Amino acid sequence: MKIDGRFWLTKKGESFLGSGRIELLERIQKTGSIHAAAKEMKMSYKAAWERINSMNALADEPIITRTIGGKGGGGTVLTPYAHELIATYNRFNELHRQFIDRFAEAGDDPEKLARILSRTFLTTSARNQLPSKISEIHLSGLQAILHLSIAGGETIRSSITAKSAQNMGLAVGSDIYAIIKSSDITITKEPPLPHANSNILEGKISSIENSQDSIEIGLALSENTTLIALLNTQNSNTFEVGDKAYALISINNIIIGS
């Protein structure tokens, strides 16, 4: 079994925005034509126009405007209000997908789902919150080294105090979050040498975002797991989307949340 769910925004008790309607609006914006957008989506013009009318009837402002004449012979464009609706829907849909992905960890085990629900609303400023399962615990004096299995089959290690492990009731098989600040991750394209106090994770660069003094790198470890690292702009010309790269994370920089 698989936990899944569809996301809709409703208004006045009626369906307002869903993935199909958002796709229609985006294709209208791209093509400048309801007819062309409908053709791309393999639906009739009548069906597309009915969806537009349905959204317009519920919207606070018009979502399309018609242009007449000109070189292209006129067409249809989205209003600024429609662009706001698309951005709002996409953000809510992203959060909904993250919510469902956390549920998907449970598989067909309702008790595991109950445990996940109890920690779903963990809030921290750290960008990386990886659902994990403890596979090993090694105690050494005041220190506990946790081996954590994350999505995609990777294993990382975290060093916390033995007292913290005891107070949190951690044990092999416990479901937890590995929490990592983006500034505590180093990204390199050269395979690093193994180090006793570092985790080394291989992935592919999925996104790059530059600002005046920093660069944000997304490193996809698997289909469902991406690390976000914040680097100095000195490295901004080093990476390209699609490059194979490695993340280095100190075992002391992985916080455990449950």
CATH for the stretch 9-102 = 1.10.10.10
Residue type, 4: D
Q: Give residue for tokens 């199909």.
A: 20
**Secondary structure (H, E, C), 169-193:** CCCCCCEEEEEECHHHEEEECCCCC
pLDDT tens-digit series, residues 151-164: 778 899 999 999 99
The pLDDT value given to residue 35: 92
Per-residue pLDDT band at 70 (split at 50, 70, 90): very low
Residue type, 72: G
pLDDT tens-digit series, residues 76-109: 999 999 999 999 998 888 878 877 776 776 667 7
The pLDDT value given to residue 73: 46
The pLDDT value given to residue 115: 64
The pLDDT value given to residue 252: 94
Intervals of CATH 2.40.50.100 along the chain: 122-257
User: Model pTM?
Assistant: 0.55
Q: Is the pLDDT of residue 9 over 70?
A: yes
**In residues, how long is the chain?**
258
Task: Quickly name the fold that domain 122-257 has.
Answer: OB fold (Dihydrolipoamide Acetyltransferase, E2P) (2.40.50)
How far apart CA 70 and CA 250 sit, in angstroms, is 61
Q: Looking at residues 229-244, what average pLDDT do you find?
A: 79
Per-residue pLDDT band at 121 (split at 50, 70, 90): low
Residue burial 235-254, b: 16+ Cβ < 10 Å; e: rest:
beeebeeeeebbbbbbbebb
pLDDT tens-digit series, residues 222-233: 887 899 998 887
Sign of CA dihedral 124, 126, 132, 133: negative
Better pLDDT: 222 or 250: 250
Q: Looking at residues 197-223, what average pLDDT do you find?
A: 89
Q: Looking at residues 55-73, what average pLDDT do you find?
A: 78
Summary mean pLDDT of the chain? 85
The pLDDT value given to residue 136: 94
